[in-house]
Amino acid sequence: MIHPTTRVLAAELPGRVGESVEISGWLHRRRGLKSVTFLILRDRSGLAQVVTAGGGPDLPEETVLRVRGTVTANPQAPDGVELTGPEVEVLSSLAEPPPFSLFRPTVPAALPVVLDHAPVALRHPHLSAVHRVSAASVAGFRSTLDGLGFTEIQTPKVVSSATESGANVFALDWFGERAYLAQSPQFFKQTMVGVFERVYETGPVFRAEPHDTARHLAQYTSLDAELGFITDHREVMAVVREAVAGMVAAVAERAFRAVGLLSVELPRVPEEIPWIHFSEAMRLLGADEPDLAPAHERALGEWALREHGSEFLFVVGYPMRKRPFYTHPEPGRPEYSNSFDLLFRGLELVTGGQRLHRHEDYLAALAARGESPEPYASYLAAFAHGMPPHGGFALGLERWTTRLTRADNVRRSTLFPRDLHRLSP
Amino acid sequence: MIHPTTRVLAAELPGRVGESVEISGWLHRRRGLKSVTFLILRDRSGLAQVVTAGGGPDLPEETVLRVRGTVTANPQAPDGVELTGPEVEVLSSLAEPPPFSLFRPTVPAALPVVLDHAPVALRHPHLSAVHRVSAASVAGFRSTLDGLGFTEIQTPKVVSSATESGANVFALDWFGERAYLAQSPQFFKQTMVGVFERVYETGPVFRAEPHDTARHLAQYTSLDAELGFITDHREVMAVVREAVAGMVAAVAERAFRAVGLLSVELPRVPEEIPWIHFSEAMRLLGADEPDLAPAHERALGEWALREHGSEFLFVVGYPMRKRPFYTHPEPGRPEYSNSFDLLFRGLELVTGGQRLHRHEDYLAALAARGESPEPYASYLAAFAHGMPPHGGFALGLERWTTRLTRADNVRRSTLFPRDLHRLSP
């Protein structure tokens, strides 16, 4: 580094007792007692207590400070240490106080207010912790798939036709042409199986969701994977299991402070995640529907926990008529499919399955739905030129983090949510 | 794994001499001699030679095959091994032959034709190798910054106002409101310094570039980073150095086969990358301009190689009037800035610098440019509530890969380029 910094992080103080050090951060809380004033400094690693004799500097919370002092053991202090005899320097003062205090156990504001003030609200340790869990999760997803021979890809987010499903797409003007925001990298990742065999992408997808619910976003981060040379969907499920286990392990390792702060109960991921066939699930539920309703998912989640001690459950074999045209049917039972959902704590987390891989099967599937192959020309070309049996899955990052941290709304797991009503900040 | 596969990859064959194994992949090349036929199979690890007595199966290239045979040493074969006594099974046959052969040293087609047929053209080992270099580069960027205490963020790609620069934005309809594709995560990453201190993002950005050149794309992958508690831009430059060195190291380690195939000369990244002040560069060039022209960048690149033996050169202190309003001026010389570009082989690769961090400085900077603070309200709020001195940078992934592999067009480093004329595949 050109400028070696002398800065020490709050979390490093317990190892520096007796030393004179420099810390920097935001004035998280100022508490004046009769004879001393406590300054709690917040940096990216946590909180540090600074003790000044007398009134101490009269600064508003969130002022950016640099403090030099002696690291002193004090069993009563957080982490057992505090900074004494401090010299305090203001790096940045405030133009105005924040719209709410950030030092209380929770942000004293309703969700819409929190979201309106995201740049400052997210400074609250509990709010930022959620996003540290999210970052660790993506890292775990990538490193697991890297280890399994996957190649990361970057695909276009603007496409010429709203192919996968005509509804819920955002239209835009592309140098005078009509274009659409990509709803998923589905077609790209499938064709790239022909190139790299195993691919993943972690990027934004866009759904013009007209629903204003606690689980829908108009932009979310999709963790997508696709792999070739499979026998059927069960190898895809095995990769899903590895990916989810890798995500949990990465959260435990890389975001342990956030896990502690939020009291996140990390799930155990069974070596083999239990599964149930869709038809069997319907029998169990005493229902007869082509898809699972949220109440069904919750009931199945409870069943899996009771019967298998697992917070995860694969539901396999969804009816073909509820799945996209590229879905591979179940051999011998063509009304069902080689597709699956993974439920986590009673909520759909992952959707995936085996895809068709023969060109003629694609033509037949489109014809059966009364669709022309024309808009799919370049996608279909990949299959015309030889594609192996393959399958894949997609996992919504924000939904995962929400469920993992038991948040009440997916917007808590999104730095700057985009939805029906929200286009800023 | 639920289904343990018995499949062996081509690259693993040299370690399996004498064993009976199963390989799978695409028929890359079929060559019939008088008494034997060679089938070259391509999988994600490389090529494997299969020898059949007599004519062998009459299959077109790109057929997807599974082959079982005995790994036999043969010094004349690629990697010194081949599969003999094979049983060949067709996993997928072709509906039609590819538009061009994929087994020749280069794809025998012009770039536009290659791009039109990307799903199949990218199967060519030289074309896919470029993207393996790209994937390794992003991995190196992330792991380096992870190691330096950065947090990964995901920010919105749709924004309510075309704030950073009014020109070259794509407009779209967002539930009846006018919105824009994000040109960069600049404002988001800066405000998130207030939350995580050090952040990065690797994601798509959009520029409605009306230029049809070899170096412009309308969507590209921006590797963005931002860090707080700096003294000035030199600490940002030190992080750029670490990131680039980490990218080169990751390419060497994770994409070594691609590096060999493409004969990529990996650059040495000096411990301290040489730098020159903009004013000194102008003196050296005998020029007097407010910005560097491409010819200037090339000349400076040659100068750095000659004078410092470095393929990298920082140009520091660009004139303020050519930099965005959030740029921090150079102390004592306010017509210059604490900003920089990193040139790599004579081409701009990275742009970065120190930003303003005081609320009043932002208000003054906007006023000086005759701009209202109103559209920037939520961005400015972060500064009103205390932000440390900070800076950051952005690196264009496709431009990096293009320069590293010495490709002639940035579209060679993009799986599915998007530009003035190209919106598919």
Supply the CATH number for residue A165's domain: 3.30.930.10
Instruction: Give the tokens for residue A151.
Output: 């190649």
With DSSP H G I counted as helix, E B as strand and the rest as coil, what are the percentages for chain B, rounded to 5? 35, 30, 35
Residue B51 falls within a domain, yes or no? yes
CB environment B307-322: b (16+ within 10 A), e (fewer) = ebebbbbbbbbbbbee
Tell me the pairing of strands B329-330 and A171-174.
unpaired
| Cross-strand bridge partners of residue B52 | B37
What mean pLDDT is predicted for residues B177-189?
Answer: 96
For residue B95, list chain A residues with Cβ-Cβ distance below 8 A: 359-360, 383-385
Contacts of B24 in chain A (CB under 8 A): 229, 388
Contact A119 B194 (CB under 8 A): yes
> Which of B2, B42, B177, B374 to mutate against chain A (most A CBs within 10 Å)?
B2
Mutate which of A385, A397, A419 to disrupt the B interface (most B C-beta within 10 Å)? A385
Note whether A283 and A215 are same-domain residues. Answer: yes
Chain B CB contacts of A174 under 8 Å are 170, 218, 423
Record the tokens describing residue A120, joined without a space.
Answer: 């400052």
Other C-beta atoms closer than 10 Å to the C-beta of B88 total: 19
> Any CB–CB contact under 8 A between B338 and chain A?
no
The pLDDT tens digits of the residues spanning A347-404 come to 999 999 999 999 999 999 999 999 999 989 999 999 999 999 999 999 999 999 999 9
State the nearest Cα–Cα gap between B282 and chain A, in angstroms.
Answer: 25
Domain limit, last residue, from A92, A107, A134: A92
From residue A268, give the alpha-carbon distance in Å to each of A241, A345, A360, A393: 11, 12, 42, 21
Residues B144 and B254 in one domain: yes
Total count of domains within chain B: 2
Average pLDDT over residues B47-59: 90
Q: Are residues A70 and A138 in the same domain?
A: no
CA distance B127 to B111: 11
Closest CA to B122 of B345, B418, B416: B416
DSSP B310: -
Please tell me the distance from the alpha carbon of residue A225 to that of residue A227, in angstroms, as a whole number.
7
Chain B CA closest to residue A243: B1
Cα separation, A331 vs B316, whole angstroms:
64
Contact map slice: A 187-206 vs B, CB within 8 A: 188, 191-192, 194-198, 203-204, 206
In chain A, what is the straight-line distance between the N-terminal and C-terminal CA atoms, in Å? 34
pLDDT band at A209 (very low <50, low <70, confident <90, very high): confident
* Residue B54 · residue B36 · CB < 8 Å: yes
Instruction: Compute the distance between CA of residue B121 and CA of residue B118 in angstroms, rounded to an integer.
Output: 5
pLDDT of residue B2: 37
Q: What is the pLDDT of residue B210?
A: 86
Looking at the predicted structure, is the pLDDT value of residue B31 above 90?
yes
Searching chain B, which residue's CA lies closest to the CA of residue A3? B235
Instruction: Compute the distance between CA of residue B332 and CA of residue B311 in angstroms, rounded to an integer.
Output: 31
Question: Are B416 and A188 within 8 A, CB to CB?
Answer: yes
Q: How confident is the model over B203-261, as pLDDT tens digits?
A: 999 999 888 899 899 999 999 999 999 999 999 999 999 999 999 999 999 999 999 99
Angle between helices A397-404 and A125-147 (to 10 degrees): 120
pLDDT at A62 over 60: yes
How sure is the predictor about B166, in pLDDT bands with cuts at 50, 70 and 90? low
Regarding whether B284 and B240 lie in a shared domain, the answer is: yes
Question: Same structural domain for residues A180 and A39?
Answer: no
Cβ count within 10 A of residue A93: 15
> Is residue B56 a contact partner of residue B30, using CB atoms and an 8 Å limit?
yes
Distance between CA atoms of B318 and B337, rounded to whole angstroms?
6
| Candidates B41, B61, B173, B195, partner chain A, best to mutate (most A CBs within 10 A) | B195
Answer yes or no: is B295 within a domain.
yes
Per-residue pLDDT band for B201 (boundaries 50, 70, 90) equals very high
Residue A2 lies in a domain: no
Q: What is the DSSP string of B365-404?
A: HHHHTT--SGGGHHHHHHHHT---SEEEEEEEHHHHHHHH
In B80-229, the DSSP E strands lie at 81-92, 151-152, 158-159, 171-174, 177-181, 198-206, 219-228
Residue A422: count other Cβ atoms within 10 Å of its Cβ: 21
pLDDT, one tens digit per residue, over A297-348 is 999 999 999 999 999 999 999 999 999 999 999 999 999 999 999 999 999 9
Assess whether B191 and B340 both reside in one domain. yes
Q: Is the peptide bond before B425 cis (omega within 30 degrees of 0)?
A: yes
From chain A, pick out residues whose CB is under 8 angstroms from the CB of B93. 386
Is A103 inside a domain boundary? no
Put simply, the chain B residues between 342 and 401 with a CB less than 8 A from any chain A CB are 357-360, 378-379, 381-389, 397
B73 and B127 together in one domain: no
**Tokens read off for A312:** 């995860």
- Residue B113 resides in a domain: no
Inform me whether the pLDDT recorded for B24 exceeds 50: yes
Task: Tell me: do B84 and B147 sit in the same domain.
Answer: no
- CATH number for the domain that contains residue A81: 2.40.50.140
pLDDT of A114 above 80 = yes
Rounded to an integer, what distance in angstroms lies between the CA atom of residue A155 and that of residue A150?
Answer: 15
Out of A92, A108, A138, a domain closes at: A92
Residue B376 clears pLDDT 80, i.e. is over it? yes
Which pLDDT score, from 0 to 100, does residue A269 have? 98
Structural domain ending residue among the three candidates B92, B107, B141: B92
- Contact assessment for residue B388 and residue B229, using Cβ atoms and an 8 Å cutoff: yes
Question: pTM (2 decimals)?
Answer: 0.97
B71 and B131 co-located in one domain: no
The reply to whether residue B63 touches residue A386, judged by beta carbons under 8 angstroms, is yes
Both B235 and B370 in one domain: the answer is: yes
- Give pLDDT, residue A161: 83
Question: How much is the ipTM here?
Answer: 0.97
With a cut of 80, say whether residue A290 has pLDDT above it. yes
Determine the pLDDT at residue B22.
97
In a domain, A102, yes or no: no
Q: pLDDT per residue over B90-120, tens digit each? A: 999 999 999 999 999 999 899 999 999 999 9
Cis bond before residue A270 (omega within 30° of 0): no
Instruction: Give the model's pLDDT for residue B3.
Output: 41
Cβ partners under 8 Å of residue A263, min gap 6: none
CB contact under 8 A, A194 and B272: no
Q: For residue B223, is it within any domain?
A: yes
* pLDDT for residue A2 is more than 50: no
Residue A164, pLDDT above cutoff 50 = yes
Q: Please give the average per-residue pLDDT across B402-419, as a whole number.
A: 97
pLDDT tens digits, one per residue of A130-151:
999 999 999 999 999 999 999 9
Q: What does the pLDDT average to over A115-143?
A: 97
Radius of gyration of chain B (CA): 26
* pLDDT at A57 (0 to 100): 83
What is residue A56's predicted lDDT score, i.e. its pLDDT?
A: 77
The span from the CA of B380 to the CA of B373, in Å, is 8
Residue B352 and residue B240 in one domain: yes
End-to-end CA distance of chain B: 34
**Pair B202, B349 in one domain:** yes
Overall average pLDDT of the B139-143 stretch? 98
Q: Which helix (H) or strand (E) holds B21?
A: strand B20-32
Q: What is the pLDDT of residues B309-366, one digit of tens each?
A: 999 999 999 999 999 999 999 999 999 999 999 999 999 999 999 999 999 999 999 9
Instruction: State which residues form the domain around B157.
Output: 119-413
| Residue B108 placed within a domain | no
